[in-house]
Structure 1
Amino acid sequence: MVGYMSRRDRFRYAVAVDMIVLTVREQALQVLVIERARKPFLGKLALPGGFLEDGENLDQAAHRELAEETGLDAETLHIRQFRTYGDPDRDPRGPILSVAYVALMPDLPIPIAGGDASAARWTPADDLLSDPAVLAFDHHRILSDAVDSARDLLSHTTLATTFCPPEFTISQLREVYETVWGIELEPSNFHRKITRADGFVTPTGGKASSDGGRRATLYRAGPATQLYPALLREHHPKNARQAGEHQELSTL
């Protein structure tokens, strides 16, 4: 029994949480990153996160680390546990199991660095994903998985509304899809399919302000969480319209 316990202790993992906070800013899908103030990877960009403290559960640790390192309040975010990463060599300090959380909100404020972070800022996700060496640890893989998941979820859930303000126009919702998917969508086709999707959006009865043109109808998120039929995206560059190609949003 003593030998068994020693063997188990030798392979015990430490537990940490990492946060992937996504928002739409400046017409781009952006992610919250920090500049590490400690070794390992001193001065390198990373996702906010850290180790569990005594008496904490995973959700409490994720909320605390986000507040300490960025000044953002997790209670105001659409946050969910995403995936667990446990490769033995993912951290030079030893075997560390990381539970990743994804948080989504529209146009979040400028973060305030603290804790293990010397700086915190929003950065376009595509810029970080273009070079696997930019982020510390295995955070390039974690971010890539989270962005792929968000793009897929937009097809068959109502996730896109979490990137919008409480009241929004169909054009604003379309901009979310275009930004996250990296394509352009034909406006009238998108409007028709979104407003026909059962429970996706609900008219508020109000109209958006206008500079003289036709005032657009305001909507809020509807009761549905899943979309059927799903919305499909085409893998085309976002400048497709400039090239004269109008992309249609299709359904299964």
Structure 2
Amino acid sequence: MEQTRFVSAANISERLAQPPALAISTVIFALRPSADSGRATLWLPLVRRIREPFQDQWALPGGPLTQADSLLDAAGRNLHDTTGLAPSYLEQLYAFGGLHRSPSQRVVSIVYWAMVQSTEAELARESENVKWFRADGLQTLAFDHNEIVDYALWRLRNKMAYGSIAHHLLGEKFTLAQVRGVYEAVLNRSVDPANFRRQLKQTAHIEPTDEFLQGGKHRPPRLYRYSGDPAAEHDGGQPNPQPNPQPSE
């Protein structure tokens, strides 16, 4: 018994002396219609783990950081390998390094995030081990990935004042109703159409075009565009001084 205790203590001491492993994870949001209401809702791709720890649980796309990849390259490669997605812009969200994120070893994850258009999301690969899930009401994920998704959603909701959000999720041109759908999907609540339309028309960098959306039963709505620089509105992934929920430290 004493020998077993000694070996166990030695193993724990050895493990504590090892440097943390580095990993990359990605959170990718897209708009998809809800099956029950048909209204646009936020979705994200998850990957089923095929090995321990957390075998068979769903997790964010990602993997270990190798010597050959930069952080950004690793995030893009892991995402493309698992889902086929290749967002034009990946932003660093945060570093998650809680002491007990993984039961086998200390792991620090550098998390990236992005938004993709619905047309891109439709091209993403799905299989038994790669599926899209609604961002709200997720089941228990592997590691601390529920916390990561919650933090990404919090950050996204705090970017709602940025006009570029419509550009990222809808494309180059969009109607005001489509932008309202984005806001309702991200905030997960209804928005008054008249007030929203009035406020949006006063927003910087949202400009009307001479084009209209065709194909509807009623008078075609005007198309608008975002005239700012989408990359300039990113904040580099730095956490807000008072985030809620707090990410792991």
- The aligned residue for residue 123 of structure 1 is 133
Match of 1:22 among 26, 29, 46: 29
Gaps of 5+ in 1: 1-6, 227-252
Amino acid at match of 2:210: G
Question: Following TM superposition, by how much is the alpha carbon of 1:148 offset from its aligned partner in structure 2, in angstroms?
Answer: 1.0
Cα distance, 1:158–1:111 mapped onto 2, change above 3 Å:
closer
State the alpha-carbon separation in 1 of the partners of residues 126 and 178 from structure 2: 30
- Whether 1:149 and 2:160 are equivalent positions in the alignment is no
- Matches of residues 47-58 of structure 1 in structure 2 within 5 Å? 47-58=60-71
The equivalent of 1:91 in structure 2 is: 102
Inter-partner Cα distance in structure 2 for 1:67 and 1:224: 25
> 1:120: Cα distance to partner?
0.8
CA RMSD of aligned residues (A): 2.2
1:66 to 66, 70, 79: 79
Report what 2:176 is aligned to. 170
Residues 146-173 of structure 1, C-alpha deviations (whole Å, 9 max, x = no match):
0111111113553243111221100000
Aligned partner letter, 1:66: L
For residues 187-239 of structure 1, the C-alpha deviation after alignment (integer angstroms, 9 at most, x for no partner) is 1221111111122x12221011143421111011121666xxxxxxxxxxxxx
Instruction: Answer yes or no: is the 8 Å Cα contact 1:202–1:221 preserved in 2.
Output: yes
Structure 2 distance, partners of 1:166, 1:46, is 31
Task: Determine whether 1:12 maps to 2:19.
Answer: yes
Distance 1:63 1:39, change over 3 A: same
Partner of 1:154: helix, strand, or coil? coil
Q: Please, which moves more after superposition, 216-225 or 53-62?
A: 216-225
Aligned residues with identical type, % of pairs: 29
Structure 1's consecutive aligned runs of 4 or more residues displaced over 4 angstroms after TM superposition are none
What code does the residue aligned with 2:208 have? P
Q: TM-score, normalised by structure 1?
A: 0.77
> What's the secondary structure of 1:15's corresponding residue?
strand
* Residue in structure 2 matched with residue 246 of structure 1 by the alignment: none
Q: Give a deviation string over 1:47-70, Cα, whole Å, max 9, x none.
A: 000001222110011011101111
TM-score by length of 2: 0.78
CA 1:207 to 1:89, structure 2 compared with 1: closer, same or farther past 3 Å? same
> Structure 1: which amino acid aligns with 2:109?
S
Question: 2:117 — aligned with what?
Answer: 106
Q: Offset of 1:92 from its aligned partner?
A: 1.8
Of residues 178, 182, 185 in structure 2, which corresponds to 1:179? 185
The 3-state SS of whatever aligns with 1:209 is coil
27-36 or 172-181, larger mean C-alpha shift:
27-36
Secondary structure of the 1:198 match is coil
